[in-house]
Structure 1
Amino acid sequence: MKHVFLLSAILAAGVMVAPTPMNAADTSGPMRFVLIPKTVHPWFDKVNAGAQSAATMLSKATGQQITVEYRAPQSADVSMQNDIIERAIATHPNGILLDPLDEKGNRSTMEEADGQGVGLTVFDSPPPQGMDVTGVGADFCEQGTLAAERLVKLIGEKGEVAIMMGVPTAPNHSIRAQCEQKVFAKYPDIKVVATGIDNDSIETAQKQASAIMQAHPNLAGWVACDAAGPVGVGQAIRESGQIGKVKEVGLDNLNDMIQLIKDGVAESSASSRPEMQGYWAVVAAWQKAAGQKTPKNIDTGIDIITKQSL
């Protein structure tokens, strides 16, 4: 109920009651949005849960039928994601909520959505350059910086470290990696000796982390750039018997990540609140479909998860 009251308060404040443009969607009937993540992944299941919660809230508050369809690529493949976007456009939804794998590679389909009058909102990503699109997510540089600084303190500001890069073309993964590198560069006694690319796959992250630790037996610690990476890294640390020797600071709040913190494999995780990203992406998309202007950015914040906070 508190979400309904919140929406009522927003409406009463006049935030969403500006004159509706002539080309706005008919907001009296059902509205349908399509949510397209990077890939099939438990992190995106959390995003979808938040999106469905927002749809339920908006349906109750407005009396409209608001639905969100979830269409996930089977792997983190740009062409596969673009195909899903194009097929979604062809169904003429009221909006598409997208987590782009590659801003350049996804550009043409994002522009196609705009040209077809299908509103676009991105989540887990900064808004694409030159497009009037709302971006919903955390400050990704801050998230990577927080994780890297925690690792620096854990290893006493010296030693060899590695970074699991996620999907390097993904804007949010790339930003985190760059900001982690900048943190490590400030400390003369810290050296980045390896980077892995897991493409948002826990299994791939585990295999790459195992190989990197075998190649660098003096490795002191790990950070990651996606949600799958730190889970795979943690599994590799556990399997190699290096809990406590190789430190890890993870990202996000997958159940497996939380268990790694509980078990002492990882010290902490910097979480970008996926449920909140899905929730506010739907609210922003609904506003856009109703013909209202939306913010350039909606910052959903960061949680630092530790054994103590759990």
Structure 2
Amino acid sequence: MKIRKTFAASCAVIALALAGCAGGAKEGDKGAESGSGSGSGEISVAFVPKIQGIPFFEAMNTGGAEAAKEFGFKWVYSGPTTADPAAQADVVRSLIQQNVSALMAAPNDPDSLAPLLKEAQDGGIRVGTSDTDAPNSVREVFVSQASPEGIGDGLIDQMAKSINNEGKIAIVSCGQTAANLNTWIDIIKKKVDKDYPKISIVDVVYADEDQARAVTMAKNLMSANPDLKGLIGPCTTAAPGVAQAVEEAGKIGQVQTVGVGTPKAMLPYLQNGAAYSSVLWNVEDHGYLTAWAGWQLAQGKEFAEKQDVGHLKNVTYDAKTKTLLLGEPLILTKDNAGKYNY
């Protein structure tokens, strides 16, 4: 559908004005081709990350923009500049005002975002979650990067391997209310109790989405526990943060780290031994699938038990939990992390 330049420019100005107070859509780049919503008659899919500007969510943005170009809809990427539930809520409110066709969110606090998802749905907007869920909300689909067991088991299995199945470890997480992170931590704890009796978790701390804070917390944990053998960072700012702490503390080889970190952020630490491995998935593909899911919702289409989505093959859907699953996790090491451009 062709839109005259004057009309498109006016829409862009309106979108920026509505979203500017909370970070706003990145108008005009590959991640936010328009913020004009569905009023033009074209389907618009918005994604609200936990925080805008970190490599993980920027990679999701790249994948979402690719899907929008391939399938033919508008992609709006807009998030808060801090991992603050209130700031994220402001972004969601602005997107509701823009009347986007579908709204996909990665909630910082699922419970506080749930009423806004209901408000969006009541206004005719289709709603879903991605990256982290809001299971007690009205969301119509959750786009999961991998099964919770795949990530949680992968993290503790990699850690156990790195410390020969015994020793004290600690966890430096991000948001204390992030549902996905808390689920992974619960799985880690249960698997330690069941499969690794010689491993003990001495503490779990929370650094929000702040790598510098994760570094400080990891150093404090090492100081408080001189015999600490390992650190797990189950999010993309804590994973490089704990590795950086080990490097700066001069404890490479003494304290092992494993986390959920992006390839570029983790590669230097994987190469120098400050990180043992990273448990992730193809983040751009996750953004691609998130965008496609929003597009499907906006068209009123149902998900099949198994489907091909563009270049993604055999994507599965669990109707009981309304979960669309990207696939199995990817284990990043010094040998393969350099193959990914994010």
TM-score range, shorter chain: 0.7 to 0.9
Gaps in structure 2 of 5+ consecutive residues: 1-36, 304-316, 338-342
Cα drift, residue 122 of structure 1: 1.0
- Structure 2 letter corresponding to 1:185: D
Deviations 1:197-256 (Å, cap 9, x if unpaired)? 111111111111111111111110011221111111011000000011101112132411
Q: Are residue 33 (structure 1) and residue 8 (structure 2) matched?
A: no
Match of 2:181 in 1: 173
Cα drift, residue 277 of structure 1: 1.4
Task: With the length of structure 2 as denominator, give the TM-score of the two structures.
Answer: 0.78
Match of 1:247 in 2: 256
Match 2:81 to one of 74, 77, 80? 74
- Given the superposition, is the C-alpha separation of residues 32 and 26 from structure 1 closer, same or farther in structure 2, using an over 3 Å criterion? closer
- Given the superposition, is the C-alpha separation of residues 245 and 167 from structure 1 closer, same or farther in structure 2, using an over 3 Å criterion? same
Q: Determine helix, strand or coil for the equivalent of 2:288.
A: helix
Deviations 1:37-73 (Å, cap 9, x if unpaired)? 00122110000000000011012xxxxxx22121111
Select the structure with the greater relative contact order (CA < 8 A; seq sep ≥ 6). 1
Match of 2:222 in 1: 213
Q: Are residue 265 (structure 1) and residue 268 (structure 2) matched?
A: no
Q: Determine helix, strand or coil for the equivalent of 1:242.
A: coil
Q: Are residue 304 (structure 1) and residue 331 (structure 2) matched?
A: yes
Deviations 1:143-198 (Å, cap 9, x if unpaired)? 02111111112212211100112112111111111111112223232211122211
Q: Determine helix, strand or coil for the equivalent of 2:252.
A: coil
Asked if 1 retains the 8 angstrom alpha-carbon contact of 2:218 and 2:245, the reply is yes
Q: Distance in 1 between matches of 2:124 and 2:81?
A: 27
Cα drift, residue 120 of structure 1: 1.0
- Structure 1 letter corresponding to 2:269: L
Match of 1:140 in 2: 148
Q: Are residue 192 (structure 1) and residue 219 (structure 2) matched?
A: no
- Given the superposition, is the C-alpha separation of residues 217 and 85 from structure 1 closer, same or farther in structure 2, using an over 3 Å criterion? same
Match of 1:58 in 2: 71
Gaps in structure 1 of 5+ consecutive residues: 1-24, 60-65
Q: Are residue 128 (structure 1) and residue 140 (structure 2) matched?
A: no
Asked if 2 retains the 8 angstrom alpha-carbon contact of 1:152 and 1:184, the reply is no
Q: Are residue 286 (structure 1) and residue 313 (structure 2) matched?
A: no
| Backbone CA RMSD of aligned residues | 1.9
Deviations 1:246-303 (Å, cap 9, x if unpaired)? 0111213241112211222111111032211110111111111112123522211211
Cα drift, residue 127 of structure 1: 5.4
- Given the superposition, is the C-alpha separation of residues 67 and 26 from structure 1 closer, same or farther in structure 2, using an over 3 Å criterion? closer
Q: Distance in 2 between matches of 1:118 and 1:254?
A: 35
Task: With the length of structure 1 as denominator, give the TM-score of the two structures.
Answer: 0.85
